[in-house]
Chains A and B, each alone.
Chain A
Amino acid sequence: MDLFANLAIGFDVALSPSAMLYCLIGVTLGTFIGVLPGIGPLAAIGVLLPITFHAPQTEAIIMLAGIYYGTMYGGSTVAILLNLPGTAASAVVAIDGHQMAKQGRAGPALVMTTLSSFMGGCVAIIVVAGFAPPLAQFALRFQSPEYFSLMIMGLLAAAVLVQGPFLKGIAMVVLGLLIGTVGQETISGLPRFTFDTLYLYDGLSFVVVVIGLFGLAEVLRNLALGADREKVDTRVGWRELVPTKRDMKDSFMPTARGTGIGAFLGILPGAGPAIASFVAYALEKRVSRNRRNFGKGAIEGIAAPEGANNAAAQTSFIPTLSLGIPGDAIMAIMLGALMIHGLTPGPQIIQNNPEFFWGLIASFWIGNLFLLLLNLPFVGLWIKILSIPYSILFPAILSFIAIGIYSLYREPLDIFMVTGIGLVGYLFIKLRCEAAPLLLGLILSPLLEENLRRSMLVSRGDPMIFLERPISLIFLILAVLGVGAVLLGSWRASRKPQTEEGSAK
C-alpha cells in the first residue's frame, strides 16, 4: 500500500514553514469570522476567498482548507455558546452543546468539539490516503435509487433525534421537505408555493431559515423569559474549562462511531456529508448508555456529530477532487478556488499533482492540530462572551444577524423573512417542536425529489427498483430497523411510566 508514501509526500508539503504559516492564518481568520453570528462557513469562505488569490498555488489551497476548518469550528463555537448555528451540522451539535453551555460547561463542550474533530480528521486522513481511488469507484455505484434510499434513512434518523413523540420528529422533517419545494421547480420551471411573489421564486435561503429558527427564536425566547432566564455560571476556573476524565471516556466510543459514519457518508456527494451528523447523533441516542441525557447536555451528543462532520468533511474531498463533483456548497467554492488556481479536478489530479493533492490532505490534519492548540486560549476568550449581561449581548446578536443576513444577497426582504421565521421558530419552541430535523429536510428536499424522479424514469415507473438494488435495500432496511427500535423503545417507556429517571445509571 502506498499509504505511507502518500502521506510522506503530503506532510513534506504541508510541514514547510510557508504552508504552515498560511494554514495558521487561515485557521485563525476562519475561526474569528466563523464565530460571527449570521455568518456561516459558506459566507465566511466566500468573504475570505479573495485573500488566498495572493498566495502561491499550493499555499493558497492549504490556507483555504485552514479557513474551512476554522469557520466550521467557529460555527460550532457560536452554536454552542449562543445557540446560533449557521449550518445543519452545527444545529445538531448545538442541541446538547448549548445545554452544556447553560450548565456552565461551555469549556468542556468547546474542547470536545476540537478533540472529536481532530480524531475524526485523523481517521479520515488515513481513509483518504489509503483508499481514495477505490472509494471514488465505489461511490459510482451510488446512483439515483441508492441516493434516494440513503436520504430516506437520513431523514428518519433526523426524525428520531428529537425529544418527545416520534411523529413530531417526522412531521418536522416533512415540513422541512415541504419548505424545500418552495420556488421554481427544476424540471418544468413551475413555481410552487410562491404565492405569486417573485421573492420566493428562488426558494427560501437556507441561512435565513437556520438563523431565524435558531438564532432569532432563541433571542425571543430568552427575552420572553425575562427575569426567569437561566443564569449561566461563568466564574469557572481553568480546571473546569477542560473535559473531565469521565467526559473523555464517555466521548471516546461515540467519536469513533461518528467518525466511521462520517468517513463513509462523506464520499457520497450531496446527501452524504449533510446527513452524517444527524445519523451519528441518532445512532448514539440509540446505543449510548447515557441516552436519557441526550438533549439535556450529554457530551456524547457533541462528540459523535462533530467526529462525523469532520470525517465527512475530509472524505468528501474524494469525489470533489477525483470526480469533480462538489459534495456541498462549500466544496463547490473550494472546487472553484482550485480551478482559479489552475488545477483541474478530475481522475488525473492525484497522478498529475501528487504533492498538491497529498499536501492538501496533510494540511487538513495540520489545520486540525492548530485548532486544537489554539483552542485552549480561545476557550477562555469565548466563555467571556457568556459573562456579558444579556441586555447588552442581545442587541449585538440582533445586529450581527441583520447584517449577516443582509450581506448574503443585499436583499432587505431577507430581513423581513428572517424576522417572520424567527417568530415561527419561537412558536415551535412554545409547541416543543425541535427544529433540527426540519433543517435536514430543507437541505435534502431538492435532492430527494430529483433522485426519486430519476429513479422512476430509469425503472420505467416501477417503484420496486428501490428494493431490487442491494445497496438501496440495505439503507431501507436500516431505516426500518431504526424506526422499529425507536417505536419499541417508546412503547416500553409508555408501559412503565413510573420508572425513575436515573434507572439507566
Chain B
Amino acid sequence: MTIRTLSGAALAATMLAAVPAAADFPDREITMVVPFGAGGSTDIVGRIAAQALSERLDVPVVVENRGGAGGTVGTQAAAGMDADGYAITVATTSTHVVGPLTNASVRYDPVEDFAHIGMIAETPYVLVVNPDLGVSDVSELIAMLEEAPGDLNFGSAGQGSTTHLAGLMFLAATGTEMEHIPYGSNAEATTALMGNEVQVLFGSMPAVLSQIQAESIDALAVGTVNRSPELPDVPTMQEAGVEGYRASLWLGLAAPAGTPDDVIATLSDALADSVGDADVAAQLASNGAEALAMTPEEFRTLISEELVTYGDIVAAMD
C-alpha cells in the first residue's frame, strides 16, 4: 500500500533524526525564529547555526522567518513563545540594541525578557555603491554628496534597522544628506542597489559579498576597526578618512526568559561547539561573517553595554 510506504519512509526518516539524547531535552524539533526575511544576512547565518545545532542536538532545528520593523516584529513574537527551549530566536545588534532604542512600539526588554544563549558571529558593514555612480573611493562620494545634497538615495534593510543606522551614522559623521529608502531585507536592498533605485548602501557583508566579487557593485569601505579578511583590498572607514565611524553587526541566539537554566546550558554548549567547529567557521566566513563564541553571561553583558553606547548615538541624532 502506498500510504503505508509513505508512513514507513517518513517514519524511518524521523527516527533517524530523533535519536533520544541522554537528557530529556531536546526530544522534538526546535523552532528557530529568524526575525528577518529569507535570504538576508541574518537568515543565512541563522540557517548555518540551525544546521550545526541540529547535528549536535540530534533534532531538526526549523527556521521560521518572521520579518518586519527591523526585526522587532519577529523578536516580539519570539519573546512570547513557550519558554521550554523549543523556541529560540536569532538575536542581533538590530533586534536587541538598535530596535528597542529607535522603535517606540517595541514592547520587549532585550535584557530582561530573554534567556541569552550565546554568540554566533560578527559581520562588518560595507559601504557599497552602484558602479554607474562613477565614484571609486569614499572621498569622491562625499564630494558628490556635498555638491548635490539629498539627490542620492541610500537603501537599508528596513526603517530603524542597523543598516539604516549605519547610514545615518555616516551622514552624521560626514555632514552630508541622502534620502533613505527602506527595503524588507538586505537581499532586496542589494537588488535595488544593482538596479540603481538606490545608489548607496551600507550593506551587511553576507548579503553583498558575492555581488562585490561578481563586480556588479563596488565596495568603498568596511565599517569595522580592521580590514575584513574577505575583502583585504577594501579600506576601513577610518583609513578612508571618516573618523570615529564604526559599524558591525553581531548575531547570537536567545530564548524567551524563563527557559530553564539546564536547557540553556545544553543549547549554549551545542552553540559554542558549533561556532568552534572549523567547518562551521568556514561556512560563516564564506558568507562574510566571522565566527565568535560567547558565554550566556558575556552575551548578556554585551547587550547591556551596547544599549548604552548606541543609546548615546541615537540620542545625539535627534
Give the interface of A toward B (CB within 8 A): 25, 28-29, 32-33, 46, 48-51, 53-54, 140-144, 184-191, 198, 201-202, 323-326, 329, 332-333, 335-336, 339-340, 342, 344-348, 381, 450, 454, 457-458, 460
Contact = CB atoms under 8 A, between A and B. Distances in A.
9 contacts: A46-B62, A53-B17, A186-B73, A187-B158, A201-B73, A201-B76, A323-B191, A381-B2, A457-B181
Contacts of A33: 6
A189 B13 contact: no
Given A184-B105, A347-B211, A50 B39 contact: no
B191 A325 contact: yes
Contacts, number: 141
Sorted nearest first, the 3 A-B pairs with minimum C-beta distance are A332-B38, A346-B210, A189-B105
A333 B106 CA distance: 28
B6 A348 contact: no
A290 B187 CA distance: 44
B296 interface: no
Interface of B: 2-3, 5-6, 9-10, 13-14, 16-17, 29, 37-39, 43-44, 47-48, 50-51, 54, 60, 62-63, 65-69, 72-73, 76-77, 80, 103-106, 153, 158-160, 179-184, 187-188, 191-192, 194-197, 207, 210-211, 213-214, 216, 283, 286-287
Nearest to B38: A332
A271 to B, nearest CB: 12
B288 to A, nearest CB: 10
Contacts of B16: 54
Contacts of B29: 50
A346 B195 contact: no
| Most chain A Cβ neighbours within 10 Å, of B63, B66, B153 | B63
A143 B73 contact: no
A50 B191 CA distance: 30
Contacts of B283: 342
A381 B10 CA distance: 21
Given A184-B73, A187-B182, A189-B105, A339 B153 contact: no
A141 B195 contact: yes
Given A32-B6, A201-B76, A339 B106 contact: no
A460 B150 CA distance: 10
A103 to B, nearest CB: 28
B181 to A, nearest CB: 5
Contacts of A191: 105
A144 B68 contact: no
Given A25-B9, A32-B3, A460 B195 contact: no
Nearest to B54: A53
A143 B195 contact: yes
Nearest to B185: A325
Contacts of A51: 9-10, 13
B69 A189 contact: yes
B194 A29 contact: no
Nearest to A332: B38
Contact of A187 (B10, B44, B159): B159
A189 B106 contact: yes
Contacts of B5: 28
Contact of B216 (A190, A345, A347, A457): A347
A143 to B, nearest CB: 4
A336 B38 contact: yes
Given A32-B6, A143-B196, 8 more contacts: A50-B17, A53-B54, A184-B73, A188-B105, A344-B44, A348-B213, A450-B184, A458-B197
B197 A346 contact: no
B13 A50 contact: yes
A28 B37 CA distance: 30
B196 to A, nearest CB: 8
A184 B69 contact: yes
Given A53-B17, A458-B153, A344 B6 contact: no
A143 B214 contact: no
A324 B185 CA distance: 11
A407 B290 CA distance: 36
Contacts of A332: 37-39, 65
Contact of A347 (B54, B197, B214): B214
B2 A454 contact: no
B204 to A, nearest CB: 13
A143 B188 CA distance: 10
Contact of B39 (A189, A190, A324): A324
A202 to B, nearest CB: 6
A136 to B, nearest CB: 10
Given A184-B73, A189-B69, A336-B43, A348 B214 contact: yes
B213 A28 contact: no
A193 B184 CA distance: 21
A3 B302 CA distance: 53
A458 B155 CA distance: 11
B153 to A, nearest CB: 6
B47 A29 contact: no
B48 to A, nearest CB: 7
A344 B191 contact: no
Given A189-B104, A324-B210, A340 B47 contact: yes
B8 to A, nearest CB: 11
A346 B194 CA distance: 13
Contacts of A346: 210-211, 214
